[in-house]
Amino acid sequence: MAGGGSAHTPDGKKKARIEIIPLIDVVFFLLATFVLFTLSLNKIESIDINLPVATPPRPDQANEEPAVIQVTEGGSVYWNREFISMTELDPKILNYAKTTATPRILISGDDRAKFGPVVEVLDKVRLANVKQVSIETNYRATVR
């Protein structure tokens, strides 16, 4: 063997040795693979979208508080801290939408409210054609 590829211990046994050349080959292969992969990422096309723009409230609208609909753990519904049944909610929303110039509704749920009743309330608000709907994500104590 040219170059003395193996080392021997004094007792004549072969000593294990790490060959660096194959390791360098593997590292360069991985480097080339990642470089080619990242170059192919530039060919991904994107879709242009129009993001909504927030508008500040008008001066006549600044003092108006939104109507608050709160859903509790048992599926009970409160309209501005007043307990109502789910069947009474439709007329309340429709009346509010007709009597208010710019109806705004805030939907809230307590910390144990189920998702289903909250979505049902959101559907009722959307059917009443109320455009300004907010969903509160902070904890609000249940009105009981």
**Sequence-ordered list of residues with C-beta below 8 angstroms from that of 134, at least 6 positions apart, any chain:** 66, 104, 105, 106, 107
Assign residue 73 the CATH number of its domain.
Answer: 3.30.420.270
Among residues 79, 128, 57, 58, which one has the least CA distance to residue 99? 128
Indicate if 39 and 72 belong to the same structural domain.
no
The number of folded domains in the chain is 2
Q: Does residue 56 sit within a domain?
A: no
**Sequence-ordered list of residues with C-beta below 8 angstroms from that of 60, at least 6 positions apart, any chain:** 101
Tokens of 61: 């609208």
Tokens of 60: 């006549």
**Residue of 10 and 85 predicted with greater confidence:** 85
Q: How many residues does the chain have?
A: 144
Please give the residue range of the domain that contains residue 83. Answer: 67-135
Q: Does residue 51 sit within a domain?
A: no
Share the mean pLDDT of the chain. 82
Q: Does residue 26 sit within a domain?
A: yes
In tens, the pLDDT along 29-68 reads 999 999 988 887 766 677 888 887 877 766 665 567 889 9
Indicate if 38 and 73 belong to the same structural domain.
no
DSSP 133: E
The answer to whether residue 119 scores a pLDDT higher than 70 is: yes
pLDDT at position 115, please?
83
